[in-house]
Amino acid sequence: ELVGADVDSVRKAIGADRRIGSSFLFPGVGYGGSCFPKDTQALLRSAADRAYDFKILRAVEEVNQRQKERLVDKMEQHFTSLSGRTIALWGLAFKPRTDDMREAPAIPIIERLLAKGATVKAYDPAAAPVARRLFDGRIALCERSYDALAGADALAIVTEWNEFREPDFAKMRALLKAPVVFDGRNIYSPERVLVTGGAGYIGSHAAKALHRAGYRVVVYDNLVAGHRGAVKYGELVVGDITDGAAVRAAIRQHAVSAVMHFAAFLDVGESVRDPAKYYRNNVVGALAVLDAMAAERVQRFVFSSTCATYGEPIETPIEETHPQNPINSYGESKLAVERALPHFERAYGIAAMAMRYFNAAGADPDGEIGEDHAPEIHVIPRAIASATGGPGLTVFGDDYPTPDGTCLRDYVHVSDLADAHVKALEAIVETGKSSAYNLGTGHPHSVREVIDTVARVTGREVPWTLGPRRPGDPAVLYAAAHKAHAELHWTPRLPALEAIVRTAWDWHRTHPHGYETR
């Protein structure tokens, strides 16, 4: 801190030694719990009994105690006096996902605040009953996080619960007397995330979600399919993912701590006609990004994968454990990258989340960004174009084994997908573990249902013609996404097809020429 070093960079460097790992190397207000503090103190007592000065362990204990005091010291430095101040605390347990307050840093922090004449309002998702017994009415325990902020002079973050990572900062500002946050867990440190393909459809929405969550965004895109106008939430670096040296330079120049990888070709039909293009870009390009990460010791990777890795489903809804047997080159290219990820984790310590999403659809509810492909390949914007006098819509096949003969797909709002990617990144930060997740609503809709919904939302007829089946199109694809719900705490906010279509219609109605609209 004295020399201006980034403590998280120090953590990553130490954690790069796999004998140590980075899972428990977090800066903040000190550790607690029943095991490590007890064992440390027991070792110190044993050393004292034998007249041995265990300096390194004594330093660990002293630093831990000092860290618990420093947050209050910083508050006192800011306010001069804490007497008469109201301090909101988020977090009481010694770590997230427990109600355990044994040796929790919150205890000495609260005691010091009370001793200095401050009033404490606290919120914890699990530990409030324990705190009620410990403090016996001396602090106010709130049922909701924002309740603790009302009328408080400042907020102190003491435990890094995930729900604290993406607050409504405007609401916080309105509730607090002054916009002051003492971030005892560094959860609001502006980490930089490289978003490859961040000028594209899903990547641009992920960039917005990252920006809203407090990250600094660096978009890396060659603009072959992306748009400069979609880059609204970070700096743009123009480059190709297959140029590993350029990717590495961007990572190094911007001190990137994580990568979200969206850059890929995604037209199923084209992938069947030109598989070389898909293997070259989607596989070789992804490996170049991973190679650059390994060289720069960046160890957090969120990968935009696809349900196409499953191929024709054996059973639905599709679980993450479903066999992966793609029936087109697009799905094969994504699966090839997924299969490489465990090897990169073992060799280089890169923790990765593979996000197997189903049919991305809709547009930013704020109307700032949306879908603009050339040519357009997705059914909702094509149906909207047909309804508004554009190219007619072709329905590829009506003889599938489905209720109306057209393909069934799981349409998931693009902003919900973006939020899931942010939650996946935070899960890597919290656990250091890799995994794969399905992202969908679990409720499939046919192409005919989409056409009817577009007609209802726009108030216009959707002209369409029947064409032959496209090579490589499964009849039914929809997700079982309970794993993402349970582990990432992700639930789609806009699951209804009509809501998805309405956001798409709002975008295309106001941007009839996409990002070129003037």
Element (H, E) at 344: helix 329-348
Element (H, E) at 339: helix 329-348
23 DSSP 8-state letter: T
Round to whole Å and give the CA distance between 221 and 285: 12
24 DSSP 8-state letter: T
Going by C-alpha positions, the residue among 107, 103, 87, 100 that lies closest to residue 126 is 100
Residues in contact with 71: Cβ distance below 8 Å, sequence separation at least 6, in sequence order: 29, 105, 109, 156, 158, 182, 184
330 is catalytic: yes
DSSP 3-state of 17: coil
126 DSSP 8-state letter: T
Residues in contact with 484: Cβ distance below 8 Å, sequence separation at least 6, in sequence order: 420, 437, 438, 439, 490
Round to whole Å and give the CA distance between 468 and 464: 13
DSSP 3-state of 238: strand
* Structure tokens, 325: 């047997």
Residues in contact with 12: Cβ distance below 8 Å, sequence separation at least 6, in sequence order: 22, 257, 297, 299
DSSP 3-state of 59: helix
Q: List, in sequence order, every residue forming a beta bridge with 217; answer none if it has no partner.
A: 193, 234
Q: Write out 449-506 in H/E/C secondary structure.
A: HHHHHHHHHHCCCCCEEEECCCCCCCCEECECCHHHHHHHCCCCCCCCHHHHHHHHHH
Residue 406 and residue 400 in contact, taking contact as beta carbons nearer than 8 Å: yes
Going by C-alpha positions, the residue among 96, 111, 260 that lies closest to residue 185 is 96
CB burial readout 306-322, b (16+ within 10 A) else e = bbbbbbebeebbbebeb
Residue 511 neighbours by CB distance under 10 Å: 18
Q: Distance from CA of residue 98 to its chain's centroid?
A: 22
Q: Pick the catalytic residue: 201, 278, 330, 411?
A: 330
Residue 476 and residue 402 in contact, taking contact as beta carbons nearer than 8 Å: yes
The string of DSSP letters for 167-193 reads --HHHHHHHSSS--EEETT-TTS--EE
As a dihedral over the C-alpha atoms of residue 274, residue 276, residue 280, residue 281, rounded to 10 degrees, the angle is 10
State the helix-helix crossing angle for 201-212 and 414-431, rounded to 10 degrees.
Answer: 60
- Residues tagged active-site: 330
